[in-house]
């Protein structure tokens, strides 16, 4: 099954950001849902945080509850979910017992937090989503939110 979330909303979101005087993040082509996904711990400006196999920062949304996503279509346009066709593997400091997936959406979860990317992060190591709206935070190896900026 191919997941295409929020692709129709992205142009409207980018136009809205531009109208607010914010620089719109670069849109990237919709990618296939990967078969295999890994999460690991990497050093960042925030200290050790959870990233994907490419080193891209993964974020948690404080409105999510008990391994359930509260991120709607408008939200997903800015905060794409980390999804996988098969199980998500823990590597390099990530705890395997904290890794799971939301069955209905195949979204990866670490601890109690569904995982997201931020469209404002352009390259591995970026942490531009940290603290956005005081609701989005990187995740530490123990599954707790990293609240520093």
Mean pLDDT of 112-118: 97
Predicted confidence at residue 13, as pLDDT, reads 40
Predicted confidence at residue 35, as pLDDT, reads 67
What are the tokens at 117?
């990317």
Mean pLDDT of 120-147: 96
pLDDT digits (tens, 9 = 90+) for 88-103: 999 999 999 999 999 8
Mean pLDDT of 119-123: 96
Using alpha carbons, select from 36, 14, 8 the residue that is nearest to residue 26.
14
Using alpha carbons, select from 49, 75, 73 the residue that is nearest to residue 62.
75
Predicted confidence at residue 23, as pLDDT, reads 40
C-alpha torsion sign, points 18, 22, 23, 25: negative
Q: Is the pTM of this model over 0.85?
A: no
Using alpha carbons, select from 143, 112, 113, 127 the residue that is nearest to residue 46.
127
Predicted confidence at residue 81, as pLDDT, reads 96
Contact yes or no for 143/111 (Cβ under 8 A): yes
Whole-number average pLDDT of the chain: 82
pLDDT digits (tens, 9 = 90+) for 27-55: 343 445 556 799 999 999 999 999 999 99
């Amino acid at each position: 099954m191919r997941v295409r979330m929020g692709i129709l909303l992205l142009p409207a979101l980018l136009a809205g950001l531009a109208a607010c005087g914010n620089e719109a993040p670069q849109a990237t082509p919709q990618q296939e849902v990967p078969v295999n996904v890994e999460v690991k711990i990497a050093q960042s400006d925030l200290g050790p945080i959870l990233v994907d196999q490419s080193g891209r920062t993964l974020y948690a949304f404080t409105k999510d509850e008990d391994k359930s996503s509260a991120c709607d279509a408008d939200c997903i346009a800015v905060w794409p979910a980390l999804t996988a066709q098969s199980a998500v593997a823990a590597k390099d400091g990530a705890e395997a017992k904290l890794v799971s997936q939301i069955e209905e959406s195949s979204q990866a979860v670490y601890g109690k937090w569904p995982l997201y990317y931020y469209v404002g992060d352009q390259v591995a190591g970026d942490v531009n989503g940290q603290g956005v709206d005081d609701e989005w935070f990187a995740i530490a190896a123990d599954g707790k939110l990293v609240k520093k900026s």
